[in-house]
Amino acid sequence: MMLRMRTRPVLVLLLLSLGLIGAQQQALMDYLERRLQAIEDRISLWHEQTSRYASELREVKQQMVSQLEALEKNKEGLRGELDGLGGRVGRVEREMDYLETQKEAQPCVDVDDKLVEQQVIVAREKNKLKYAKLSGCTDMLSGVKGMKVLKRLGDSKGMWTKDLSSGSGKVYVFNGTADDTLYQFSSVRDFTSSQGTALATPLKLPARWSGTGHALYKGHAYFMEEGADLRLLKVSLSDGSLVDSSVLPLPDLVSAYALTPDTAVDLAVDEEGLWAIYATQQDQRHLCLAKMDSDTLAITQMWTTPCPRENSEAAFVVCGTVYVVYNSRLPGRSRVQCVFDVGEMSAADEAPLAYFPRRQGSHSSLKYSPQERLLYAWDQGYQILYKLTMRSKLEV
Ligand SMILES: *[C@@H]1O[C@H](CO)[C@@H](O)[C@H](O)[C@H]1NC(C)=O
């Protein structure tokens, strides 16, 4: 009984406490649920934030990229300006050099011989692939020293020269820019002492020439026929007979030199043989050079030179290097201001700024005589000889 009496409250207590535990459990569950919810909320907030950060980061990156690009462009612009400045400084330096030589001051140059040798060897290796030289000639122009006005004959435009490659000392005169009679003087003395063409033997050609770009080589005259599109004629100098002709496989041309509009193609002779200088309609800003085979009249190799056509007046070739002569529309002092070496042994920026002796004139032709190292010039009706000074390309 006692036991029974005592058991009841215990049971009640037990039940009560069980109820309590149940309530506590519920509360715990609720609490945990709330916590989980809060954590979930926070996680989704983080999610949002990270994706926002990521997209912001992407935007920033894009901005950086475009800014970098803009910077790169600015850099290029600056570099271009610097290059331009460099060129100008180079020109001023060359002009100063020229003034120095006028003062006869000997510049003191100290060059590392080994370095020079290496550069030359590299240039020669390239040379082998590019242009096979026919002569062993390595001279380059160092200046134009001395001038002799020999005569005043004929038109303001024309061409005169000798053909020493044939062993004859005769002087040939192509008067004007379109004619078919060549004047032949037996010597320079005859030429200078002749009253006009009195002492000359006229040589009638099979066609009229055009311009002043003719060349004499090994007993033949080479010239472009007037009115015939790019027809090159090869005529015997002994009797004026036509030996060969060829239409040059060149695209549409403009006059070779901006200041000498009558000459479409300028033919030149040097130690290597026959060359043609011209300019195409596609690239009117630069001069082109072609090596010709004087036997077949074929073009064997062509180059686009870096030499500008603007203000060019004439050009001549010495040892496989073309020297372009510039002047101004109002005839001033002619000067060699661009050089292009097909053997790549001398770079264009090594160009000697060689001034022609002081004279206000314009050259309608400048013909190089390899045997005499003279230029035969036609300057507004005056026939002039210029003496060239050379140095070896191997020394700097
Ligand atoms: C030279 O050519 C011009 C025309 O271009 C002509 O008037 C002149 O008579 C010619 N002179 C000689 C010496 O042939």
| Closest ligand 1 atom number to CA of residue 176 | 5
Going by C-beta distance under 8 Å and a sequence separation of 6 or more, which residues neighbour residue 200?
173, 183, 184, 185, 190, 191, 194
Higher pLDDT, 43 or 260: 260
Quote the longest CA-to-CA distance of the chain.
Answer: 173
C-alpha of residue 134 to centroid of ligand 1, in Å: 38
Q: Which of 266, 207, 263, 204 is nearest to 237 (CA)?
A: 204
- The values of phi and psi at residue 26, to 5°, are -60, -45
Please compute the mean of the pLDDT values over residues 294-312 and round it to a whole number. Answer: 95
C-alpha of residue 158 to centroid of ligand 1, in Å: 10
List residues near ligand 1 (CB under 6 A): 153-155, 175-176, 196-197
Q: Side chain identity at 365, as an amino acid letter?
A: S
C-alpha of residue 175 to centroid of ligand 1, in Å: 6
DSSP letter assigned to residue 225: B
Residue nearest to atom 12 of ligand 1 (CA): 154
- The best mutation among 152, 153, 173, 175 to test binding of ligand 1, ranked by most ligand atoms within 8 Å of the C-beta, falls on 175
Per-residue pLDDT tens digits for 6-65: 556 666 666 677 677 778 888 888 888 888 888 888 888 888 888 888 888 888 888 888
In whole angstroms, give the CA distance from residue 365 to residue 154: 14
In whole angstroms, give the CA distance from residue 189 to residue 253: 39
Cβ-count burial 211-248 (b if 16+ within 10 Å, e if not): bbbbbbbeebbbbbbeeeebbbbbbebeebeebeeeeb
| Closest ligand 1 atom number to CA of residue 175 | 1
Sign of the CA dihedral running 351, 385, 218, 159: positive
In whole angstroms, give the CA distance from residue 151 to residue 378: 10
Which pLDDT score is estimated for 117? 39
Query: By three-state DSSP, how is residue 62 classified?
Result: helix
| Closest ligand 1 atom number to CA of residue 197 | 13
Question: Please, which pLDDT band fits residue 387 given cuts at 50, 70 and 90?
Answer: very high
pTM over 0.95: no
C-alpha of residue 325 to centroid of ligand 1, in Å: 26
DSSP letter assigned to residue 350: G
- The best mutation among 155, 210, 262 to test binding of ligand 1, ranked by most ligand atoms within 8 Å of the C-beta, falls on 155
C-alpha of residue 212 to centroid of ligand 1, in Å: 14
Q: Side chain identity at 233, as an amino acid letter?
A: L
- The values of phi and psi at residue 370, to 5°, are -60, -35
Q: Which of 364, 310, 360 is nearest to 332 (CA)?
A: 360
